[in-house]
């Protein structure tokens, strides 16, 4: 059995991505004394989502004290929902504090991952032209890292600056310009109020209205921050209260595909909020959703309806027929002039795991295996792909709690799997365990509001939901706490005669 050419260079663990997921994985490896690992990040900085999404108004929408690592609480969050720069700074702080920096190689995409049957290692081809071998791969590429653009005729012909919210061009001056924002969901409702302050005009192209609840954001006083720092137990309790609210209120809304009294009450409450907030009667009606709350992602904002009420902001609900050099033509034949185009059109959730070409045992190609539907055991393990650990694999998404919480839960499983296999064994989930897990997920999804009659980015074109986890996040954590070794085969890696 031949060893790779430079066996010194074989990594114990190769990590893809330096967002919350990749950084947490690196921290946990170092905690276990594992130093032979590298993190490859395609961007020029760490931070993942928070490095990429620097549009004006970008901030988290899960309260900051829960949207951070449990092992690195931050008493100094400036606001209940901190802005992008502060979250980015927090991740940078973790990278420094936990000694991760020297393990990270920036500006380096992992283009492909190939399990070499003859060597029994993973081989990664990097955008730098290098190839790297590793015993394990932890794939932390993030579910929201591929910007999605709408398929509108003429898109390429627009003459002015055009940008996706996740690829903000900070050199563009919006002052006094006519701006077209395509999309009206999570990123759009954060950036529109900021653009409206400086632009001559903002046209908001809305396809579907959203349930937007008040955010109730506020700054923390110095006294409150000092209290969080001085009383860790108080700080923990505060974090827990945010968590509990997500469990009790938000999860209860999505849990049931049929009628739900709580959902009805909250839905009525938000619709009243929209009616009370939007001044123009036609616009108001256009902003009221006609599907059950929770079926699409629920949003929060304090300043969106105020922005919509401004004279220089115009809501357009006609579909877009074409994009021309300096305008947008809607399906009713109207032409709307635009100097700058902003795509707040979200992310490609169908292909985020397939952007990297991944080939397992016997040249099994992941994109072929997943042609019908992506699935994995506990969102992390795929039969035929030994020692490949997914951080945000299929059915790991939640709309009701912190993704950082989910990442930490997933890491409980991944760290045990890494330990169980060590450097000399291959760990592979069984077909039966994978099937059983996904049957449970599939059945449970039918009982959620997502299965209802609405289009959402959660759903594939065929209506299947390969993104979301149907139970609450405590269940996710409980389920990921212990590695069920009986669900895996753990076999010795074949060794070369030289070893």
Ligand X SMILES: Cc1cc2nc3c(=O)[nH]c(=O)nc-3n(C[C@H](O)[C@H](O)[C@H](O)COP(=O)(O)OP(=O)(O)OC[C@H]3O[C@@H](n4cnc5c(N)ncnc54)[C@H](O)[C@@H]3O)c2cc1C
List contacts with ligand X (CB under 6 A): 16-22, 40-43, 48-49, 51, 53, 58, 60-62, 67, 109-110, 140-142, 144-145, 187, 356, 391-392, 402-403, 407
Give the residue with the Cβ less far from ligand X, 187 or 329. Answer: 187
**Least spacing, CB of residue 379 vs ligand X, in Å:** 12
Q: Residue 225: which of 88, 91, 77 has the closest Cα?
A: 77
Give the residue with the Cβ less far from ligand X, 292 or 346. Answer: 346
- State the burial class of residue 257 (Cβ atoms within 10 Å of its Cβ: 0-12, 13-18, 19+): middle
Give the residue with the Cβ less far from ligand X, 299 or 441. Answer: 299
Give the residue with the Cβ less far from ligand X, 41 or 408. Answer: 41
Give the residue with the Cβ less far from ligand X, 20 or 238. Answer: 20
**Least spacing, CB of residue 274 vs ligand X, in Å:** 22
Q: Any idea which residue has 């996740």 for tokens?
A: 166
Give the residue with the Cβ less far from ligand X, 135 or 215. Answer: 215
**Least spacing, CB of residue 340 vs ligand X, in Å:** 19
Q: What is the DSSP letter of 154?
A: T
Give the residue with the Cβ less far from ligand X, 313 or 403. Answer: 403
Q: Residue 194: which of 353, 272, 301 has the closest Cα?
A: 301
DSSP 77-143: -SBSS-BHHHHHHHHHHHHHHTT-GGGEE-S--EEEEEEETTTTEEEEEETTS-EEEEEEEEE---T
**Least spacing, CB of residue 283 vs ligand X, in Å:** 25
**Least spacing, CB of residue 263 vs ligand X, in Å:** 21
**Least spacing, CB of residue 440 vs ligand X, in Å:** 24
**Least spacing, CB of residue 495 vs ligand X, in Å:** 30
DSSP 324-393: -SSEEEETTS-EEE-SEEEE---B-TTTTTTSSEEE-GGG-BHHHHTSS----BTTTB-TT-TTEEESS-
Instruction: Identify the H or E element spanning 238.
Output: helix 232-245
Give the residue with the Cβ less far from ligand X, 11 or 407. Answer: 407
Q: For residue 442, give the 3-state DSSP assignment.
A: helix
**Least spacing, CB of residue 146 vs ligand X, in Å:** 8
Q: For residue 178, give the 3-state DSSP assignment.
A: strand
And the tokens for 255?
A: 């849990």
Q: For residue 213, give the 3-state DSSP assignment.
A: strand
Number of other CB atoms surrounding residue 61 within 10 Å: 16
């Amino acid at each position: 059995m031949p060893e790779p050419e430079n066996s010194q260079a074989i990594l114990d663990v190769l990590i893809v991505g330096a967002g919350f997921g990749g950084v947490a994985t690196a921290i946990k490896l170092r905690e276990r004394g594992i130093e032979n690992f590298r993190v490859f990040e395609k961007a020029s900085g760490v931070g993942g989502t928070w490095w990429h999404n620097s549009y004006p108004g970008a901030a988290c929408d899960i309260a900051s004290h829960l949207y951070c690592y449990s092992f690195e609480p931050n008493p100094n969050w400036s606001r209940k929902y901190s802005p992008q720069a502060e979250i980015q700074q927090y991740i940078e702080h973790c990278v420094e504090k936990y000694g991760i920096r020297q393990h990270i190689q920036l500006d380096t995409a992992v283009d492909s991952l190939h399990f070499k049957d003859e060597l029994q290692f993973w081989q990664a081809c990097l955008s730098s032209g290098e190839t790297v071998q590793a015993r394990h791969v932890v794939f932390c590429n993030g579910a929201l890292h591929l910007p999605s653009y709408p398929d509108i005729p003429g898109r390429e012909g627009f003459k002015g600056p055009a940008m996706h919210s996740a690829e903000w061009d900070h050199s563009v001056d919006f002052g006094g310009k006519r701006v077209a924002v395509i999309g009206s969901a999570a990123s759009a409702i954060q950036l529109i109020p900021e653009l409206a302050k400086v632009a001559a005009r903002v046209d908001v192209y809305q396809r579907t209205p959203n349930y937007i609840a008040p955010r109730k954001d506020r700054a923390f006083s110095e006294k409150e921050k000092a209290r969080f720092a001085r009383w860790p137990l108080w700080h923990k309790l505060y974090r827990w209260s945010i968590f509990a609210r997500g469990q009790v209120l938000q999860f209860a809304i999505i849990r049931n595909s049929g009628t739900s009294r709580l959902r009805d009450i909250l839905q009525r409450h938000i619709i009243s909020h929209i009616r009370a907030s939007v001044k123009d009667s036609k616009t108001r009606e256009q902003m009221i959703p006609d599907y059950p709350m929770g079926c699409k992602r629920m949003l929060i904002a304090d300043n969106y309806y105020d922005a919509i009420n401004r004279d220089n902001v115009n809501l357009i609900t006609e579909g877009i027929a074409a994009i021309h050099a300096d305008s947008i033509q809607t399906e009713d034949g109207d032409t709307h002039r635009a100097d700058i185009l902003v795509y707040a059109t979200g992310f490609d959730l169908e292909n985020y795991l397939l952007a990297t070409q991944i080939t397992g045992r016997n040249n099994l190609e992941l994109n072929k295996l997943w042609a019908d539907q992506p699935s994995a055991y506990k969102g992390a393990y795929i039969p035929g792909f030994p020692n490949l650990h997914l951080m945000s694999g299929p059915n790991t998404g939640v709309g009701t709690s912190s993704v950082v919480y989910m990442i930490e839960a997933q890491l409980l499983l991944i760290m045990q799997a890494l330990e169980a296999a060590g450097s000399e064994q291959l760990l592979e989930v069984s077909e039966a365990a994978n099937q059983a897990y996904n049957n449970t997920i599939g059945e449970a999804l039918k009982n959620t509001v997502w299965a209802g009659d609405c289009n959402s980015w959660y759903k594939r074109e065929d209506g299947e939901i390969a993104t979301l986890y149907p139970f609450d996040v405590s269940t996710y954590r409980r389920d990921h706490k212990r590695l069920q070794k009986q669900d895996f085969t753990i076999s010795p890696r074949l060794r070369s005669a030289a070893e």
